[in-house]
Amino acid sequence: MREFDRLGYVTDRSLATSVYLTIKLHKPLLIEGHAGLGKTEVAKTLAAMLETELIRLQCYEGLDVNSAVYEWNYQKQLLAIKLQEGTGQTVEEKEKHIFSREFLLERPLLRSILAQEAPPVLLIDEVDRADEAFEAFLLELLSDFQITVPEMGTLHAIHRPHVILTSNRTRELSDALKRRCLYHWIDYPSLEKEMSIVRARLPQIEAELGKQIVRYVQAVRGLDLAKPPGVAETLDCAQAIQSLGKRSLDADVIDGTLGCVAKSMEDSAKLKASIDELVAQIH
């Protein structure tokens, strides 16, 4: 916990224990929770703490092997074939040359397996956005930390990477994937914890203003919005109010900074209709 605090990430004993165990047991850590609560920052902070490389794979619908694992540099292969003409090499020798590491374009998953110096931190971000076929592909990596390239065989990890997977729960992940991971749920922080986060990230903010902003965002989360604001929105709101030179929250300030907290027309309307009630709760 002290190392995370030193790096500006306010954590608790439960999350700190999960991160410690993922290092000691060499098991991936699946972190789930609502958007904007610092799941991605766990991997960034861990990489900084271990002074190692952070390799990030951002998942999305339609993510395939070429984008996530590897692909061949076809232009370079074609050039090599042209240069080999007339050299007397056999077909087998030519194939062995053009399907070597020299022509392999390493994408995040393969880069994490082939890291030479030290175990990197591999962040598989928003894995719930990838489809089930890609999730099934991950099982080989997370089980044995190896990747099979048909033209080269199976490549084993030199150093087993520290793997952090994040999910916003837009869909349920498979039991097979979950069994290979330690699990941690990040919930919305308490009032005290969120104020600690604001102080850690924005040390110049006035104490009373910081308290008002946290009370405001926590009250907004009780409005039944389609997308309740996370900690990221709290920090955005605090920075915006600081930039405007305001020292206290009132109805005008809230109205002027709605876009920091509400992320849709419907949520903005709900928030706008509740401004007077929110101001009363803040003060």
The mean-pLDDT minimum among 46-60, 83-97, 223-237 falls in 83-97
The domain that holds 142 is classified in CATH as 3.40.50.300
Indicate whether 211 and 251 sit together in one domain. Answer: yes
Judgement on whether residues 203 and 247 belong to the same structural domain of the protein? yes
Nearest-10 crossing angle of helices 74-84, 91-98? 150
Angle at 164 between CA 15 and CA 56, to 5 degrees: 135
Residues 129-165: pLDDT tens digits? Answer: 998 888 888 887 888 888 888 888 888 888 889 999 9
For residue 276, pLDDT over 70 is answered with: yes
Domain assignment of residue 257, yes or no: yes
Quick one: 223 and 244 in the same domain?
Answer: yes
Q: Are residues 120 and 211 in the same domain?
A: no
- pTM, two decimal places: 0.85
Radius of gyration over alpha carbons of the chain, in Å? 24
Mean pLDDT for 208-216 is 93
What does 132-188 look like in DSSP terms, one character per residue?
A: HHHHHHHHHHHHHSEEEETTTEEEEPSS--EEEEEE--SSPPPHHHHHTSEEEEEPP
pLDDT of residue 161: 93
Same-domain status, 131 and 212: no
CA atoms in the 13 A half-sphere facing the CB of 279: 13
With respect to residue 76, please indicate whether it lies within any of the assigned structural domains.
yes
Please check whether residue 252 lies inside any domain of the structure: yes
Q: Is 207 within the bounds of a domain? A: yes
In terms of pLDDT, which residue wins out, 35 or 90? Answer: 35
The mean pLDDT value for 189-215 works out to 92
| Domain total in the chain | 3
- Domain identity same for 134 and 233: no
Residue 282 maps to a domain: no
Q: Looking at the predicted structure, is the pLDDT value of residue 80 above 90?
A: no
| Least-confidence region, from 21-25, 89-93, 200-204 | 89-93
pLDDT at 198 over 90: yes
Q: Which amino acid is at 149?
A: V
First to last CA, the chain: 33
59 and 75 within one domain: no
Q: Average pLDDT over the chain, rounded to whole? A: 89
Question: Where does a domain end: 160, 186, 212?
Answer: 186
pLDDT score, position 260: 92
Helix, strand, or coil (residue 279): helix
Q: Does residue 283 fall inside a structural domain?
A: no
Residues 130 and 253 occupy one common structural domain: no
232 and 268 assigned to the same domain: yes
> 90-99, 103-112, 192-201: lowest mean pLDDT where?
90-99
- For the ranges 25-34, 146-155, 247-256, the maximum mean pLDDT occurs at 25-34
21 in any annotated domain = yes
- Given 186, 216, 243, which residue is the final one in a domain? 186
Same domain (yes/no): 28, 135: yes
Candidate from 77-91, 128-142, 258-272 with smallest mean pLDDT: 77-91
Domain C-terminal end among 166, 186, 206: 186
Q: Are residues 99 and 114 in the same domain?
A: no
What domain range is 230 assigned to? Answer: 191-276
Q: How confident is the model at residue 115 (pLDDT cuts 50, 70, 90)?
A: confident
The per-residue DSSP string of 53-110 comes to: -EEEEE--TT--HHHHTEEE-HHHHHHHHHHHTTS---HHHHHHHHTSGGGEEE-HHH
| Structure token pair of residue 75 | 């232009």
Q: How many CB atoms lie within 10 A of CB 226?
A: 10
pLDDT recorded at residue 1 = 65
Within a domain: 281: no
**Helices 231-243/191-201 angle, 10° precision:** 50
Burial class (CB within 10 angstroms; exposed 0-12, middle 13-18, buried 19+) of 211:
middle
| Domain co-membership, 51 together with 74 | no
pLDDT of residue 46: 95
